[in-house]
């Protein structure tokens, strides 16, 4: 009975955040047009029009409003006590506010990459110091429970990786939001199975507002002023939220299944964020190989390569979303086949490399054909 009750409040949270986003987005777009807050086209961008860039401003506020509204309804109807805000939740909300603020300032005025990275590093430090850290690798390359001196820096690295991966893959319509929606849905479902209902509401609120944005981003018309990008405000907020969900899920599995700490506690968040994180690692390694700063902007991300290989923007979106889903299905089958976590990760790396080799071949073939004409 309690689960049915929480299902209804989860649906209420999702509906409130989605409807508020759909209703408030036109007003936000009017503000962007009036103030000139546009993402202008340049040699690194794939769009040709001036597009409002503040769509992600709504993510964090409307998610919190939707969650608060559902809790107020539940408290008033069922005489539930006011939920206690734990230290971890308080720190995460503070970190979310700071990274939201730095994203907003970047969208409005433009900030140096090094300054943004410094703020990301600062808020990433919040996670381990409130008890949220990557504590176990479940046999990955022979590593299990980690000592604090290694687990804390690893957690900060993972946070920076996820935040920047979601931020930097936001290069074509629907890609960052589409990948995030897939991950948020799975995390919300798993939190519900673990009876972590507050976190389920958190996922539902975020899913609803990102889904509302997705409609305007994918199906809006630039000439009519109904199209928007999420900007750094949205992508950084999403990245930090997904970092929190990933580590919270790992810690939840340890707490609820101490005698059966299966490697899926690590494999689930790893798989859900595999494509953007693998792509960021690949791009960073290539920049280091060519002795360029890892902050140096270029067009070598996976969505750029797909379009250079001749695929349209919509086709590129479908390919990358399918690729993410395919890795999810493959890893699930490998878990059922009782493959070790090391074998699964190495298989994923090999397949991701092969996919990029295929793209490189297509790009070279297309360039050769173009030059010979």
**Each residue of 229-243: pLDDT tens digit?**
998 999 999 999 999
Q: 85: pLDDT confidence band, cut at 50, 70 and 90?
A: low
If one counts every other C-beta atom within 10 angstroms of the C-beta of residue 34, the result is: 8
Which range among 28-37, 94-103, 155-164 has the greatest average pLDDT?
155-164
* Secondary-structure breakdown of the chain: helix, strand, coil percentages, each rounded to the nearest 5: 75, 5, 25
Q: Flag the least confident range among 100-109, 256-265, 290-299, 323-332.
A: 256-265
User: Which long-range contacts does 78-85 make (Cβ < 8 Å, 24+ apart)?
Assistant: 78/5, 83/198
Per the prediction, the chain carries an average pLDDT of 88
Q: 43: pLDDT confidence band, cut at 50, 70 and 90?
A: low
CA distances from 233 to 123, 341, 350 (A): 15, 34, 33
Q: 93: pLDDT confidence band, cut at 50, 70 and 90?
A: confident
Rg (CA), the chain: 21
Higher pLDDT, 288 or 130: 288
At residue 366, φ and ψ (nearest 5 deg) are: -70, -40
What is the rounded CA–CA span in Å between residue 241 and residue 255? 21
DSSP assignment of 257-288 equals: -TT---THHHHHHHHHTHHHHHHHHHHHHHHH
Nearest to 300 by CA among 319, 316, 287, 288: 287
At residue 51, the pLDDT reads 84
Cβ atoms of residues 206 and 241 within 8 Å: yes
Higher pLDDT, 196 or 253: 196
At residue 258, the pLDDT reads 47
Q: Which domain holds residue 50?
A: 2-372
Check whether 14 has a pLDDT greater than 70: yes
Q: 131: pLDDT confidence band, cut at 50, 70 and 90?
A: confident
Surface-to-core class of residue 50, CB atoms within 10 Å of its CB (0-12 exposed, 13-18 middle, 19+ buried): middle
Check whether 136 has a pLDDT greater than 50: yes
The contacts of residue 40 (CB under 8 Å, 6+ apart) are 50
Higher pLDDT, 4 or 151: 151
Mean pLDDT, residues 122-131: 87
What is the rounded CA–CA span in Å between residue 100 and residue 106? 10
At residue 257, the pLDDT reads 55
User: What 8-state DSSP symbol labels residue 109?
Assistant: H
What is the rounded CA–CA span in Å between residue 243 and residue 231? 18
**Number of separate domains in the chain:** 1
Two tokens at 222?
């630039």
Strand partners, 145: 136
């Amino acid at each position: 009975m309690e689960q049915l009750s929480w299902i209804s409040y989860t649906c209420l949270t999702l509906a409130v955040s989605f409807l508020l986003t759909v209703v408030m987005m036109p007003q936000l777009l009017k503000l962007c047009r009036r103030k000139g807050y546009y993402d202008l086209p340049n040699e690194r961008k794939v769009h040709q029009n001036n597009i409002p860039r503040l769509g992600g401003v709504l993510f964090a506020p409307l998610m919190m409003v939707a969650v608060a509204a559902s809790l107020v309804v539940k408290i008033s109807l069922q005489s539930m006590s006011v939920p206690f805000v734990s230290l971890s939740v308080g720190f995460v909300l503070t970190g979310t506010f700071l990274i939201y603020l730095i994203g907003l300032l970047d969208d409005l005025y433009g900030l140096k990459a090094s300054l943004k990275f410094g703020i990301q590093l600062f808020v990433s430090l919040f996670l381990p110091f409130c008890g949220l850290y990557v504590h176990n690798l479940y046999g990955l390359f022979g590593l299990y429970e980690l000592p604090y001196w290694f687990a804390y820096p690893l957690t900060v690295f993972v946070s920076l990786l996820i935040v920047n991966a979601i931020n930097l893959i936001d290069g074509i319509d629907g890609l960052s939001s589409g990948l995030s929606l897939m991950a948020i849905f799975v995390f919300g479902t798993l939190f519900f199975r673990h009876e972590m209902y507050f976190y389920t509401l958190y996922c539902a609120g975020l899913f609803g507002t990102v889904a509302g944005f997705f409609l305007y981003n994918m199906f809006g018309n630039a000439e009519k002023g109904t199209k928007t990008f999420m900007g750094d405000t949205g992508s950084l907020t999403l990245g930090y939220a997904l970092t929190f969900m990933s580590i919270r899920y790992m810690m939840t599995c340890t707490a609820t299944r101490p005698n059966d700490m299966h490697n899926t506690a690590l494999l689930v968040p790893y798989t859900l964020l595999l494509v953007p994180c693998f792509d960021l690692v690949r791009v960073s390694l290539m920049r280091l190989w060519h002795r360029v700063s890892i902050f140096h902007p270029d067009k070598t991300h996976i969505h750029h390569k797909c379009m250079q290989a001749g695929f349209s923007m919509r086709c590129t979106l479908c390919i990358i979303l399918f690729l993410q889903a395919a890795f999810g299905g493959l890893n699930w089958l490998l878990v059922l086949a009782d493959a070790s976590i090391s074998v699964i990760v190495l298989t994923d790396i090999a397949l991701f490399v092969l996919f990029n080799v295929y793209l490189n071949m297509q790009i070279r073939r297309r360039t050769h054909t173009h030059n010979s004409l």
